[in-house]
């Protein structure tokens, strides 16, 4: 019985700590421009962000933004009855084109500063 209580307490502690490690979409949106300007995050041809240099909360920002992008790409693909990969490719091209000078984009597998 003692082990069961300890296991329950451990699971409860883990469950309560998970939200502290994940970043919400609103917070990620607020931090996105900053991590891009710092050269921590860049745009890829697949329509998603990726980490250029792991530092601070770069990975969390990438995961939150990419999750929202994935949902939106799926919605668009279903609406137009096209493959998600087609939406991702178009979005990636547009994102790279819109990336301002000084920020990073992934070109042919290499990070390049525009």
The pLDDT tens digits for 52-103 are: 999 889 999 999 999 999 999 999 999 999 999 999 999 999 999 999 999 9
Distances (CA, A) of 37 to 17, 30, 66: 30, 13, 18
- Residue 31: burial class (beta carbons within 10 Å; 0-12, 13-18, 19+): buried
- Residue spans of the domains in the chain: they are 23-113
- Answering whether pTM is above 0.85, one says no
State residue 10's pLDDT score.
39
Reported as a single tens digit per residue, the pLDDT across 22-63 is 679 889 999 999 999 999 999 999 999 999 999 889 999 999
State residue 13's pLDDT score.
38
């Amino acid at each position: 019985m003692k082990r069961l209580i300890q296991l329950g307490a451990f699971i409860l502690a883990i469950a309560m700590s998970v939200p502290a490690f994940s970043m919400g979409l609103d917070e990620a949106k607020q931090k996105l421009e900053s991590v891009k300007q710092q050269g921590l995050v860049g745009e890829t041809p697949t329509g998603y962000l990726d980490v250029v240099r792991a530092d601070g909360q770069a990975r969390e920002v990438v995961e939150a933004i990419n999750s929202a992008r994935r949902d939106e790409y799926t919605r668009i693909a279903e609406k137009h009855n096209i493959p998600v990969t087609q939406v991702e490719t178009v979005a990636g091209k547009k994102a790279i084109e819109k990336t301002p000078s000084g920020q990073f984009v992934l070109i042919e597998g290499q990070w390049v500063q525009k």
